[in-house]
Amino acid sequence: MHDYHVHTNYSDGDFMSRMIAAGERAGLDGIGFADHCNVFKTDRARAYRERYGFNLDLTYDRRRNAIEDERKRTDLRIYDAVEMDYEPNEEAAIVAFLDDVDFEYVIGSVHAIDGVNVHDEAYFSEFTDAERRARVDRYVEKLHALIESDLFDVAAHLDLPERNPALRGYLDDDDYHKIANALSNSKTVPELNAGRVLDAYGEFHPRESFADTLLAEGVEFTIGSDAHAPEQLTGAVTELQAVVDEWGVPVVELDL
């Protein structure tokens, strides 16, 4: 079992050595460090990076050296990967960075609507029902563009707005089918993401009804705990193993 979506202290996760030890305890065969990265040139993006310390565009060489050191200490296969923020109008900057750095694989994520993080409940709760629906529509449009771009090996947490109580329930069957159709015609593979299974949200991404639509289209998945701490990783891997069997999810290993 390969967990392709794990964070370290090179973005907003725990120390790399602790995440590796957790992967060993969980019985993983491989662990992919896909720390957050944003290469947008706007003032808002710059301020966001500085506020949260998401500077993998500056520190990837240092992390790469750390990965090489850790590979000498474990039988666990360690992948040098990245989780890239995506905006359709920033594709040129993303391509330039990825071509220069050459990660083993790339996860693409839509994290913002209106330039605001999807998790910001206070911001989105101010809108009317129709306005919230319109913003979820924009999220789906961006996700569709991400998939069609073919820049990414993996598409992360497909129904991310479900995490936010102010946006929950606005994704519908039409959205599911639109995304499923795009994935069935793309090299990009979605992940079964357990990033909020162990907290109050308690659901996988995609949630079961969405996963059923994807499975009906013959879409395959990678596995991602989206863990930021050791206990999240070990707990999420147990949940992922169970749901893969329960839902009959076809899991693929990335061709690396």
For the segment 71-95, what is each residue's pLDDT rounded down to a tens digit? 999 999 999 999 999 999 999 999 9
The three-state secondary structure class of 243 is: helix
Question: Rounded to whole angstroms, how far apart are CA atoms 191 and 203?
Answer: 14
The residues, ordered by sequence, that sit 6+ positions from 184 with a Cβ below 8 Å of its Cβ are: 217, 218, 219
Which residue(s) pair with 251 in the sheet?
221
3-class DSSP assignment, residue 128: coil
59 belongs to a structural domain: yes
Q: Provide the β-strand partners of residue 131.
A: none
Phi, psi dihedral angles at 218 (to 5 degrees): 75, 20
In three-state secondary structure terms, 141 is helix
Answer yes or no: are the C-beta atoms of 106 and 81 closer than 8 Å. Answer: yes
- Is the Cβ–Cβ distance between 198 and 235 less than 8 Å? yes
Instruction: Give the rounded percent of residues in the chain with a pLDDT score beyond 90.
Output: 93
Specify if 256 maps to a domain: no
Residue 253 domain flag:
no
pLDDT (tens digit per residue) in 231-243: 999 999 999 999 9
Asked if residue 67 is part of any domain, the answer here is: yes
Rounded mean pLDDT of 172-197? 97
252 within some domain: no
Residue 61 lies in a domain: yes
- What angle, 0 to 180 degrees and rounded to 10, lies between the N-to-C axes of helices 230-247 and 16-25? 40
User: Can you read off the two tokens belonging to residue 97?
Assistant: 């960075």
Whether 225 and 233 have beta carbons less than 8 Å apart is answered as yes
Q: What is the CATH number of the domain that holds 107?
A: 3.20.20.140
Residue 229: predicted pLDDT: 98
Structural domain range at position 163 = 2-247
In the chain, the number of structural domains is: 1
Alpha-carbon distance 156 to 192, whole Å?
A: 8
**Average pLDDT of 37-60?**
89
Average confidence (pLDDT) over 149-171: 98
In this predicted structure, the answer to whether residue 120 has a pLDDT above a threshold of 90 is: yes
Q: How far apart are CA 249 and CA 221, in angstroms?
A: 7
Identify any residues that bridge with 77 across adjacent strands, giving them in sequence order.
Answer: 30
Name the more confident of 184 and 51: 184
Cβ-contact 190, 217 below 8 angstroms = no
Which residues sit opposite 106 in a β-bridge? Answer: 82
DSSP state of 224: E
Domain membership of residue 255 (yes or no) is no
Report how far apart the first and last C-alpha atoms of the chain are (Å, whole number).
15
Q: What mean pLDDT, rounded, does the chain reach?
A: 96
Note the pLDDT of residue 112.
95
Per the domain annotation, does 254 fall within a domain? no
